[in-house]
Amino acid sequence: MKKSNNKKLLAWVAEIEALCKPEAVYWCDGSQQEYQKMLKIAETAGSATKLDESKRPNSYLFRSDPSDVARVEDRTYIATTKQEDAGPTNNWIDPGELKKTMRGLYDRCMRGRTLYVIPFSMGPIGSLISKIGIEITDSPYVVANMHIMTRVGEKVLETLGADGEYIPCLHSVGAPLDPGQKDAAWPCAPIEKKYISHFTEENLIWSYGSGYGGNALLGKKCLALRIASVMAKREGWMAEHMLILRLINPEGRRFHIAAAFPSACGKTNLAMLIPSIPGWKAECIGDDIAWMKIGPDGSLRAINPESGFFGVAPGTSYASNPHAMESIKSNSIFTNCVLTDDKDIWWEGMDTEILHGIDWKGRDWTPASGEKGAHPNARFTSPASQCPVICPDWEDPQGVPIDIFIFGGRRTSVVPLVTESFDWDHGVYMGATAASEPTAAALDVKAKLRRDPFAMLPFCAYNMGDYWQHWFDMGDKLGDQAPKIYYVNWFRKSPEGKWLWPGFRDNSRALKWMCDRLEGKAQAQDTPIGRVPNPEDLYLENLEVDTQDIKTLLSVDHAAWTEELPEIETFLAKFGAKTPARLKAQFEKQKQRLTAKINISSSLK
């Protein structure tokens, strides 16, 4: 591939080559031949297994080292000159100190390996909402995955030009090779030497020691959320941990929805929704990240900056998400799944059962083995273009106009099925106080609730108080064209532990109410926490849910909401002077509404 004529880029690549001392330098062109070459290198090295061509065409299974299986949040750092700019929710290190440590690790770290230069675009190449990144890596696995997850190649360098700006992303697995030394099937550094570092004042990413997922595919969480969140604040746009969905009603009107959920709340399933309501249709634009800028017409326009899905495999099935299963039929990379005896992949929660396979650690496995065959964070990487319901214009460089924002969490009680905010500021309060009950995967399992503002807690690379203020500022700029804001909870249970809402396809019923509200077709009742549907406002035909359960799903327990106020107040106070006055005002308004309702109900007894 012809090298770039961008002097800044050429100088940076030369600097990293001198530091890391690779055996060779390779500039990626993004071609199919290159993709196959990377997979062949991995297969020869013993890190990849080609799956049966008749069952899963052009697809490969990788197994990582057991120490390198997920994002390492406690080794993820935000480096800013002032610690308060990183805020209390991030791991902060002084930039000078961190660079000194990492330069020591990078010194000759690519010895015996090839340095790959990956020019990539987050978002359609040339879009005014897109950004260009350059990742340097010594991992063929990373090159292959970046081919799927981003737009890679010569067109990116052409768009960059001689003096264009790019985001430098440096990655190494941290496993130099001596002459004649046999390589590991999955090279990586021990946990104490892993660093995923973000120098936000320079738009710079340095990652060392991990070859897995978001630690190594630096266009994903590192660039598309952490660095982009800071760039968005600085430049006046939004980088959010949100799916993007197009919903089309029987009259043909399109509604564009962006939704933020913490893990284990059905985000991917909603992104690929099959509505249960006759005449309604859904199309997927993105399943994980949304970049949004105000367009010439004043509306908020969104793109999916990624070009692929990097999804959690366990639990994905034709029952839970048939469109995801169709998306991974071919041209996909699987990581830490079970290899079946007929050279296909399998994981827990898939529709089929198996008697024997090779587990994610490379051992013989049966259902009686006593351990799960696939790692709980096993992944698939698949082109978004293969999704059966991908929006025909999902790569429109202009983006799509967002009508609705949705926040949500996993709550077995208290929170109604769907709530509409009173206005933009109240909606920001909803997002800022979003919470989920902990799951088995959460570290803070002793906590009653885990606050995850806007589902951005691990990904907002600056002070969360400033992030909240940015949402208020964007609302001011959007004015009457600001999207409407809603909060949903698919996970409410009865006191006996029975799920009250079927979820999955039937979540479209809550979305229909939101769309009907935009058109003035549906009513709502005011409560202290927002506007909720009356039972008759929801489309409930052919839904096997008891009438009393529907009432419970839409009910607001004033006492239970009041009990949470002290914890919310403590959470907001964590950000000190950075907590926006408008957010504090919304807290006080909610407190007053709840107190008034309790007093009214008490006086009626």
384-427: pLDDT as tens digits? 999 999 999 999 999 999 999 999 999 999 999 999 999 999 99
Are 223 and 316 in a shared domain? no
Asked if residue 270 and residue 412 are part of one domain, the reply reads yes
Whether 280 is in a domain gets the answer yes
Could you tell me the pLDDT band of residue 265, with boundaries at 50, 70 and 90? confident
* One domain, residues 317 and 363: yes
Query: For residue range 33-66, what is the model confidence (pLDDT) as tens digits?
Result: 999 999 999 999 999 999 999 999 999 999 999 9
399 and 543 belong to one structural domain: yes
Structural domains in the chain (count): 3
Is residue 477 domain-shared with residue 537, that is, in the same domain?
Answer: yes
Examine the domain organization and report whether 259 and 145 are in the same domain. Answer: no
Active-site residue (options: 28, 109, 169, 265): 265
- Model confidence at 448, pLDDT cuts 50, 70, 90, reads confident
Is residue 63 situated within a structural domain?
Answer: no
- Determine contact, residues 49/140, Cβ cutoff 8 Å: no
For residue 300, name the pLDDT band (cuts at 50, 70, 90): very high
- Which domain, by its residues, includes 262? 240-306+394-557
Is 158 within a domain? yes
DSSP 507-569: GHHHHHHHHHHHTT----EEETTEEE--GGGS--TT----HHHHHHHT---HHHHHHHHHHHH
Say if residue 242's pLDDT is above 80: yes
Would strands 167-172 and 204-208 be described as parallel, antiparallel, or unpaired?
A: parallel
Same domain as 442, residue 320: no
12: exposed, middle or buried (C-beta count within 10 Å: 0-12, 13-18, 19+)? middle
Cα 236 from Cα 564, distance rounded (Å): 33
Quote the pLDDT of residue 447. 58
CATH number of the domain to which 464 belongs: 3.90.228.20
Evaluate whether residue 513 is within a structural domain.
Answer: yes
Q: Does a structural domain hold residue 53?
A: no
Q: H or E stretch including 207?
A: strand 204-208
Same domain, 424 and 541: yes
368 part of a folded domain: yes
All residues at 6 or more sequence positions from 193 whose CB lies less than 8 Å from its CB, including other chains = 105, 174, 208, 209
Q: By the 8 A CB rule, do 191 and 208 touch?
A: no
State yes or no: is 265 an active-site residue.
Answer: yes
Is residue 446 over pLDDT 70? no
Same domain (yes/no): 377, 432: no
Residue 97 has pLDDT above 80, yes or no: yes
Do 328 and 431 lie in a common domain? no
Is residue 66 in some structural domain? no
pTM: 0.96
Whether 12 and 147 map to the same domain: the answer is yes
CATH number of domain containing 208: 3.40.449.10
Residue 583 lies in a domain: no
pLDDT at 600 over 60: no
Which range (428-442, 541-555, 564-578) has the least confidence? Answer: 428-442
Mean pLDDT, residues 526-538: 97
Same domain assignment for residues 230 and 283: no
